Amino acid sequence: MSDQIAKTDDDAPGPGLSPSIRQFLARAQELKVFPQAAAQIQQVAEDPSSSLTDLERAVALDPTLSAQVLRVANSPLYGLNRQVGTLRQALVTLGFEGARTMALALSLIAAGGAVKDYRRQLWQHAVATASIAHALAQGDDALDASQVFLAAVLHDLGKLLLDTVNDGYENALALTQLTPTARIDAEQSVFGFDHAQLGAACLEQWNLPAVICWAVSAHHRPTDGASAKTPDQRAVAIVRLANALQHAASASSMWQELERLECTDAAHALGLDQNACAHKLAQASRQPALLPSM
């Protein structure tokens, strides 16, 4: 197994969190970047005496978040044969830990508050990437589909945080047309870390599951053509490939765009060729959106 797809100590922020990332996240906390609902959900989760009713009250503080959790519970992600009509029913469907992870993740992606064009673009990309990741994960019963979905939704959380704390970072660094590798190098040069590392560090601080943190951290890391043998390795490769496929979807040649984006390795790791990728992309486009547009 290649070291590039196997999990390493560098993938997890943990105790080795770099001073630059630590300072950035402290600054984000000072600026109250993270929604109040996230803190309330985390407080409930950390209290061993908390019940599903306590979690329901915390999620209900944010009507938008409540609607998103309800929509996800009714989505193909869970494949229920009945309609979930209330937030309470949705939380029961997801279970306490699943509901806590889902609600906290969806609240964190709202970090920064005010909606502007770049935030809207990030959200649209996140939702589309999550749909593609769901299509790629279908049929793999060993995967936790909800965690793959959330990792895809959250994969660019670091960009959102960078743009919120450093207003206009995207334009300032002229990152838009760069390849993923060049973008990562530019961010590393300016900030001392990149958006994938930052997003993963933030999610680990909020105690999101390890596979979600790993997938966010590694979504720009080449898999070097190695096969993704374990469920966690496949989840990481799926998020990496889904991100690239979403960017390549409108290109005249999807595969050539994947090559330009340096992401064909993820397809090979999952055992997918050009035709299989095109089929998964078409499958995702036919699915109803798992989350609403912003």
Which domains does the chain possess? 35-110 (no CATH), 114-286 (1.10.3210.10)
Whether residue 66 is predicted with pLDDT greater than 90 in this model: the reply is yes
> What SS3 state is found at 279?
helix
Tens digit of pLDDT for each residue in 159-173?
989 988 876 676 666
**What's the whole-model pTM score?**
0.87
Q: Which of 127-136, 166-175, 281-290 has the lowest mean pLDDT?
A: 166-175
Residue with the larger pLDDT of the pair 142 and 1: 142
Tens digit of pLDDT for each residue in 231-263?
999 999 999 999 999 999 989 999 999 998 889
pLDDT score at 2:
34
For residue 26, name the pLDDT band (cuts at 50, 70, 90): very high
Mean pLDDT, range 2-27, rounded to an integer? 63
Write out the two tokens for 74.
Answer: 């009714």
Residue with the larger pLDDT of the pair 181 and 252: 252
Write out the two tokens for 103.
Answer: 């609600």
What is the C-alpha separation between 110 and 33, in angstroms, rounded? 9
**By the 8 A CB rule, do 86 and 79 touch?**
no
For residue 1, name the pLDDT band (cuts at 50, 70, 90): very low
CA distances from 123 to 40, 91, 115, 253 (A): 23, 23, 10, 25
